[in-house]
């Protein structure tokens, strides 16, 4: 429970009277807000409202009284009045651990149309004292009252007798005194505690208003389009400093007019900040703390990094980056950062990683300050976090979204351009490659749970929070990237700059953006001969911002007529969405991959057939064709098999002719097809995979990893499995040796780090000797000698991977030694968890048996039976380790009586049932009935899955079908391959025989196509 420790008074500091109120508010309001001691701060907000205590003011006027007759109404503010200027005053005694504060917000309001009410947001605030003055006549309006609508969080000020009290064209000054609570969670104004060097607790407050929490801090028009100027004053201990969006205008001693002369509390000061430009409420921010800062000034902008005193020097790197990034954004968009300063503050508690408040970015401490021995991955992520927030200073702060429908205008642009700008400043990090794995991979993976259009109307607070999701961030970033390239990068940026300058200090929606891009495109001579360039940019972009799914583009060539049929459909077969799709092409005769603007926009129709000449492509009959150069378009591409054969041949001849991102795209596009059994033949896939033995670029390896893992797991235990492992070992051995057996000469990028992990997983999955030895040695060192993994492993999931792979094949002696360590290790430590978790990867049946005993068995001294964690490990074990499945089943058969005592076992058994193949059906039914009987015998309410439930075997259906369709084909291909490579020398570039064979196959395919005149 949070409690206050003192009672206190507030006055409006005289700065307000003198400078801000222009003498309009002639009377200094003095009021007493005595708080009871030890008061519970968790008071129901609605109840608190009724506590509003009227205070007689010195001018004899009485503030308006509350009217308790709230009615439900729409959740959006009526558009009849709007704020011009806020004078916000907050007085905090946080240094004395007081979690309540007093405030005064005085708002100059304009009236758009005559109305009987002024409606604004307020939530969990109390003790309102409200007064309104007509700024024209200077009269105080004394026939008003107020209501509170808890559902909409509206404070509604209206006349006692209904009439149009507020006239169109008039301006009013609304003054509200109120009280609020500092929150423990990161909403509104919140508090956090630190220990100082002398071990004293120091309390600090900060704010988090996005998207709808400004109303928790003070009454306001809490919608982004109600921009106004803010003059903020904060009263706080003189041991603290206050920072806010703007520079400090002045700090004065605090004077309480109630105190007798000479009795003023000299330990308090009032900090007043310069007035902000027009700003949305969600971007207002302040922090009251004892923090210290380092600073740098460049181009007239002062940037400071604030941290708690013990880590005052740990922000150097962030400061340097911030200075470079702000000027890079200024240059890139040609628009100056408009404020005189930008602060960055590291907080112990922050909502998410960081928040872009204008001029005062708040961060979670470990995202801003340097830490010892943190890997490159985290360093780059932190830099991208900071640059994302800096990007918001333009996208969101300077131009704000008209409503949260357009949250993607903030988040999509900040996400994408933080990568672009980071890449420009630090080309060595290859940040745009990282975009593919960090952003695009997630955008491509979204599913039924997350699907919605980018432009999406929301209203309730919970809905507003929910649009800060994968669609507003990742999908929007990918769509913006696509248009950045499709419309010529410079042209698109010109349109964006225009948009930013046209709507600066105001709000915008997507149409405003599209119009500016349209204007820029219309002026681009490279597009001027194209019909769409003069009027369709909006339609093109709407088709992406109003659709839910991702298009799949199929390319089918007619080799005789030299035509290309392009089809589009949604990734979700049940929807009929169509898009304007920017396409560009490269071919064997024209292998140009650099120019990424659109060669052609496919209109939103299912199919179009065009002559290669019409598309401006040089394309001969036996040329390969590749669509979507450098994967800049946000869609999947499927090719007909004949074209894939031609691509495979090129990859074998000289793979470097095809851009590495497109080599990667081939696998990325094919992966889902393979996993959903939508391919016709696997031969061409294995031919494509085969080129990987020459591939030393990690980006394609990164993309192919999922396909190799999928094939390896599906083929486990089949006739093809050994041959498959042998095949993949051949592909990966040269790369493995280069990556892990030779000293590193270059600096690793993030993509390298992620790919290294995937390479390690693939190589050990297929039992590459070198990989097993390598991980085994590292795991031994780590487990038995507590040696930390070296820095080139510093990718967050790498340690876990090494431990898992390194224990795959242990000697009995090693395994027992680990059990011994575990028996002595302290439970509930990360070390214990890591070890228990990684042991699930062991392959030996007898070790697995021991592992299960350790996890579950009643006779084991270390049994962690009934522990929900151990039951979770059971599920992981079943899912991830195919070798463990028979051992586990045997174990269940022997111990089901004991296991049934745990409800968690039944829950996990139900999930394991999803992995039962139809060949295991009778075995499953047998155990199922034993478990059901046992549960009945002991009279337990059972939530056991029904034995005929459609969920049984659900998770393995696709792979069952895959094996039925393709296992024979795969076996034949692998056998042929095994025989042919047996003679050929390994590791050399494709032997003449191999190339010849591939060419013959591709040629045969083409001839077959032509003979049958098939249009695939
Ligand atoms: Zn953001």
Contact partners, residue 459, CB within 8 Å, separation at least 6: 75, 76
How many helices (H) does the chain have, and how many strands (E)? 31, 32
Q: Residue 16 C-alpha to ligand 1 middle, in angstroms?
A: 34
Looking at residue 724, what is its pLDDT?
97
Cα torsion angle, 117, 121, 124, 125, sign? negative
Ligand 1 geometric centre to CA of 469 (Å): 10
Ligand 1 centroid to 384 CA: how many Å?
Answer: 11
Q: What's the number of CA atoms in the CB half-sphere (13 Å) around residue 1015?
A: 12
- Which among 659, 603, 601 is positioned nearest to 626, based on CA atoms? 659
Q: Per this entry, what is the length of the chain?
A: 1016
Give distance in angstroms: CA of 545 to centre of ligand 1: 18
Task: Determine the distance separating the centroid of ligand 1 and the alpha carbon of 1011, expressed in angstroms.
Answer: 56
Both structure tokens of 129: 């004292």
How far is the centre of ligand 1, averaged over its atoms, from the C-alpha of 392 (Å)? 7
**Per-residue pLDDT tens over the stretch 725-773:** 999 999 999 999 999 888 776 677 888 888 888 999 999 999 999 999 9
Q: What's the rounded mean pLDDT across residues 972-991? A: 67
Burial class (CB in 10 A: 0-12, 13-18, 19+), 636: buried
963 CA distance to ligand 1 middle (Å)? 44
**Of 227, 219, 211, 235, which Cα lies nearest the Cα of 286?**
235
Question: How far is the C-alpha of 290 from the C-alpha of 204, rounded, in Å?
Answer: 8
pLDDT band of 71, cuts 50, 70, 90: low
State how far the Cα of 680 lies from the Cα of 683, in Å rounded to an integer.
9
* Distance in Å, CA 617 to ligand 1 centroid: 40
Residue 77, CA distances (Å) to 82, 111, 225 in order: 10, 13, 11
Residue-level pLDDT at 2 = 24
Q: Ligand 1 centroid to 204 CA: how many Å?
A: 24
Q: Can you tell me the distance from the alpha carbon of 774 to that of 596, in angstroms, rounded to the nearest whole number? A: 41
The CA 636 to ligand 1 mean position distance, Å, reads 27
The rounded distance, in Å, linking the Cα atoms of 389 and 303 is 14
- Lowest mean pLDDT segment, chosen from 464-478, 643-657, 846-860: 846-860
Distances (CA, A) of 871 to 500, 865, 880, 912: 54, 8, 14, 11
Mean pLDDT of 257-276: 84
CA of 694 to the centre of ligand 1 (A): 41
- Tell me how far the alpha carbon of residue 410 lies from the centroid of ligand 1, in angstroms: 7
Taking the centre of ligand 1 as the mean of its atom positions, its distance from the CA of residue 798, in whole angstroms, is: 28
In the reported structure, the alpha carbon of residue 776 is separated from the centroid of ligand 1 by a whole-number distance in angstroms of 42
Tens digits of residue pLDDT in 121-161:
999 999 999 999 999 999 999 999 999 999 999 999 999 99
Helix, strand, or coil here: 434?
A: helix
Distance of alpha carbon 336 from alpha carbon 953, whole angstroms: 60
Confidence of residue 1003 (pLDDT cuts 50, 70, 90): low
Strand partners, 154: 121, 149
Q: How far is the CA of 411 from the centre of ligand 1 (A)?
A: 5
Residue 829 pLDDT more than 80? no
- Cα(79) to ligand 1 centroid in Å equals 27
Q: Does residue 1007 carry a pLDDT above 80?
A: no
Quote the DSSP letter at residue 477: H
Tell me, in angstroms, the distance from the centre of ligand 1 to residue 581's CA.
27
Ligand 1 centre to CA of 676 (Å) is: 35
Packing angle between helix 407-425 and helix 316-333, nearest 10 degrees?
110
Contact criterion met (CB below 8 Å) for 834 and 786? no
Residue 471 Cα to ligand 1 middle (Å): 13
Percent of the chain with pLDDT over 70: 86
Compute the chain's Rg from CA coordinates: 33
Q: Widest CA span of the chain, in angstroms?
A: 106
Q: According to the model, what pLDDT value does residue 45 have?
A: 31
- How far is ligand 1, taken at its centre, from the CA of residue 408, in Å? 9
* Mean pLDDT of all residues in 628-636: 96
- Gap from CA of 1 to ligand 1 centroid (Å): 33
Q: What Å distances lie between residue 189 and 12, 287, 390, 860, CA to CA?
A: 20, 9, 22, 52
For ligand 1, an ion, list residues with CB under 5 A: 411, 414
CA of 87 to the centre of ligand 1 (A): 27
Residue 926's SS3 state is helix
Our CA angle for 694, 700, 703, nearest 5°, is 140
CA of 407 to the centre of ligand 1 (A): 9
Closest by alpha carbon to 625, among 596, 645, 610, 609? 645
Distance 415 CA to ligand 1 centre (A): 7
Instruction: Determine the Cα–Cα distance for residues 265 and 8; give it in Å rounded to an integer.
Output: 11
CA of 431 to the centre of ligand 1 (A): 18
Q: Give CA–CA dist 561/431, Å, rounded.
A: 42
Helix (H) or strand (E) holding 19: none
Give dist(CA 576, CA 47) in Å, integer: 51
Q: Write the pLDDT tens digit of every residue in 514-573.
A: 999 999 999 999 998 888 888 789 999 999 999 999 999 999 999 888 899 999 999 888
CA distances from 587 to 626, 631, 893 (A): 6, 15, 59
- How far apart are the CA of 274 and the centre of ligand 1, in A? 25
**Is the peptide bond preceding residue 211 cis, with omega within 30 degrees of 0?**
yes
Residue that wins the pLDDT comparison between 1008 and 344: 344
Q: How confident is the model at residue 192 (pLDDT cuts 50, 70, 90)?
A: very high
pTM for this predicted structure: 0.86
**What residues contact 824, with CB distance under 8 A and at least 6 apart?**
none
**Ligand 1 midpoint to CA 18 (Å):** 38
What separation in Å is there between the alpha carbon of 848 and the centre of ligand 1?
A: 46
- The residues facing 111 across adjacent strands are 81
Q: How far is the CA of 354 from the centre of ligand 1 (A)?
A: 8
| CA pair distance 504, 174, nearest whole angstrom | 27
Q: How far is the CA of 192 from the centre of ligand 1 (A)?
A: 23
Q: Is the pLDDT of residue 56 over 90?
A: no
Point out the least confidently predicted range of 408-417, 556-565, 854-863: 854-863
Determine contact, residues 660/697, Cβ cutoff 8 Å.
yes
**Cα 117 from Cα 144, distance rounded (Å):** 9
CB 794, CB 376: distance < 8 Å = yes
Question: Are the C-beta atoms of residues 971 and 723 closer than 8 Å to each other?
Answer: yes
Report DSSP state, residue 379: H
Burial of 295 (0-12, 13-18, 19+ CB in 10 A): middle
Q: Mean pLDDT, the chain, as a whole number?
A: 86
* Cα–ligand 1 centroid distance for 389 (angstroms): 6
Give the C-alpha separation, 631 to 637, whole Å.
10
Q: How far is CA 500 from CA 3, 280, 340, 670, in A?
A: 46, 16, 19, 39
- Ligand 1 centre from 189 Cα, in Å? 20
Q: Does 221 have pLDDT greater than 50?
A: yes
Q: How many CA atoms lie within 13 A of 499 on its CB side?
A: 28
d(CA 208, CA 190): 8
Ligand 1 midpoint to CA 414 (Å): 6
Report the alpha-carbon distance of residue 949 to residue 911 in Å, rounded: 12
């Amino acid at each position: 429970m949070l409690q206050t420790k003192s009672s206190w008074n507030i006055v409006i500091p005289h700065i307000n009277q003198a400078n801000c109120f222009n003498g309009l508010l002639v009377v200094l309001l003095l009021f007493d807000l005595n708080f009871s001691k030890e008061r519970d701060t968790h008071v129901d907000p609605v109840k608190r409202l009724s506590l509003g205590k009227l205070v007689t003011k010195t001018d004899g006027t009485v503030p308006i009284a509350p009217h308790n007759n709230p009615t439900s109404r729409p959740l959006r503010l009526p558009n009849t009045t709007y704020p011009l200027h806020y004078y916000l005053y907050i007085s905090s005694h946080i240094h004395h651990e007081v979690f309540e504060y007093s405030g005064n917000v005085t708002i100059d309001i304009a009236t758009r149309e005559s109305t009987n009410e002024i409606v604004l947001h307020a939530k969990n605030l109390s003790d309102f004292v409200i007064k309104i003055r007509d700024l024209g006549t200077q009269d105080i309006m004394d026939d008003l009252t107020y209501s509170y609508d808890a559902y909409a969080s509206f404070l509604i000020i209206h006349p006692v007798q209904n009439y149009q009290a507020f006239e169109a064209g008039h301006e009013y000054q609304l003054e509200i005194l109120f009280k609020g609570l500092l929150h423990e969670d990161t909403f509104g104004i919140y508090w956090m505690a630190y220990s100082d060097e002398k071990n004293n607790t120091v309390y600090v407050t900060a704010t988090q208003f996005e998207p709808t929490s400004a109303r928790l801090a003070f009454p306001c028009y809490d919608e982004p389009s109600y921009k106004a100027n803010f003059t903020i004053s904060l009263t706080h201990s003189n041991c603290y400093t206050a920072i806010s969006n703007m520079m400090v205008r002045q700090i004065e001693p605090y004077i309480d007019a109630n105190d007798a002369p000479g009795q003023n509390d000299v330990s308090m000061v009032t900090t007043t900040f310069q007035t902000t430009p027009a700003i949305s409420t969600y971007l207002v921010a302040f922090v009251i703390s004892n923090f210290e800062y380092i600073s740098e000034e460049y181009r007239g902008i002062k940037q400071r990094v604030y941290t708690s005193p013990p880590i005052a020097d740990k922000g150097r790197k962030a400061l340097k980056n911030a200075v470079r990034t702000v000027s890079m954004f200024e240059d890139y968009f040609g628009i100056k950062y408009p404020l005189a300063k930008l602060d960055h503050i590291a907080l112990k508690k922050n909502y998410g990683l960081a928040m872009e408040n204008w001029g005062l970015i708040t961060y979670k401490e470990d995202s801003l300050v340097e830490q010892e021995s943190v890997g490159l991955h985290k360093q780059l992520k932190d830099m991208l976090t900071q640059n994302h927030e800096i990007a918001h200073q333009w996208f969101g702060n300077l131009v704000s979204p008209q409503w949260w429908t357009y949250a993607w205008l903030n988040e999509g642009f900040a996400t994408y351009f933080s990568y672009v700008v980071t890449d420009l400043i630090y080309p060595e990090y290859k940040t745009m490659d990282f975009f593919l794995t960090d952003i695009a991979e997630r955008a491509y993976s979204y599913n039924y749970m997350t699907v919605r259009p980018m432009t999406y109307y929301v209203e309730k607070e919970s809905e507003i929070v929910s649009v800060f999701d994968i669609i507003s961030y990742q999908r929007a970033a990918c769509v913006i990237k696509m248009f950045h390239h499709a419309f010529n990068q410079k042209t698109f940026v010109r349109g964006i700059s225009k948009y930013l300058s046209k709507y600066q200090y105001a709000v915008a929606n997507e149409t405003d953006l599209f119009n500016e891009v349209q204007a820029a495109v219309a002026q681009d001579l490279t597009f001027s001969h194209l019909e769409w360039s003069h009027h369709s940019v909006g339609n093109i972009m709407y088709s992406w911002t109003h659709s839910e799914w991702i298009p799949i583009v199929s390319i089918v060539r007619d080799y005789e007529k030299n035509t290309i049929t392009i089809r589009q459909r949604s990734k979700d077969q049940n929807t009929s969405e169509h898009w304007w799709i920017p396409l560009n092409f490269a071919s064997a005769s024209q292998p140009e991959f650099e120019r990424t603007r659109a060669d052609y926009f496919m209109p939103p129709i299912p199919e179009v057939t065009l002559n290669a000449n019409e598309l401006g492509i040089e394309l001969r009959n036996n040329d390969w064709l590749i669509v979507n150069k450098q994967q800049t378009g946000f869609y999947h591409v499927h090719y007909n098999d004949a074209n894939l054969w031609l691509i495979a041949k090129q990859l074998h001849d000289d793979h470097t002719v095809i851009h590495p991102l497109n080599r990667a795209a081939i696998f990325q596009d094919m992966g889902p097809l393979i996993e959903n059994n939508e391919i016709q033949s696997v031969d061409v896939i294995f031919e494509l995979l085969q080129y990987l033995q020459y591939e030393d670029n990690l980006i394609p390896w990164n993309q192919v990893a999922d396909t190799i893992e999928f094939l390896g797991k599906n083929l486990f235990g089949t006739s093809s499995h050994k041959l498959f492992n042998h095949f993949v070992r051949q592909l990966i051995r040269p790369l493995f040796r280069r990556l892990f057996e030779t000293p590193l000469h270059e600096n690793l990028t993030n993509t390298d780090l992620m790919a290294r992990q995937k390479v390690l997983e693939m190589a050990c999955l297929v039992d590459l000797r070198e990989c097993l030895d390598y991980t085994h040695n590292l795991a031994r060192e780590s487990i038995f000698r507590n040696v930390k993994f070296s820095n080139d492993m510093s990718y967050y999931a790498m340690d876990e991977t090494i431990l898992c792979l390194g224990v795959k094949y242990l000697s009995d002696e090693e395994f027992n030694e680990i059990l011994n360590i575990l028996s002595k290790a302290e439970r509930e430590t990360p070390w214990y968890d890591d070890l228990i978790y990684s042991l699930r990867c062991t392959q030996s049946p007898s070790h697995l048996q021991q592992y299960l005993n350790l996890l579950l068995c009643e006779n084991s001294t270390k049994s962690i039976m009934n522990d929900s964690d151990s039951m979770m490990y059971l599920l992981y074990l079943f899912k991830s380790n195919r070798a463990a499945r028979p051992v586990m089943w045997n174990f269940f058969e022997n111990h089901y009586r004991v296991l049934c005592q745990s409800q968690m076992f039944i829950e996990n058994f139900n999930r394991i049932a999803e992995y039962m193949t139809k060949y295991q059906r009778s075995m499953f039914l047998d155990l199922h009935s034993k478990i059901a009987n046992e549960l009945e015998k002991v009279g337990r309410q059972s939530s056991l899955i029904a034995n005929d439930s459609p969920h049984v075997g659900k998770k393995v259906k696709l792979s069952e079908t895959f094996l039925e369709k393709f296992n024979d084909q795969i076996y034949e291909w692998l056998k042929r391959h095994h025989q042919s490579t047996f003679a050929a020398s390994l590791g050399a570039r494709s032997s003449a025989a191999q190339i010849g064979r591939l060419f013959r196959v591709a040629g045969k395919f083409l001839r077959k196509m032509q003979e049958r005149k098939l249009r695939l």
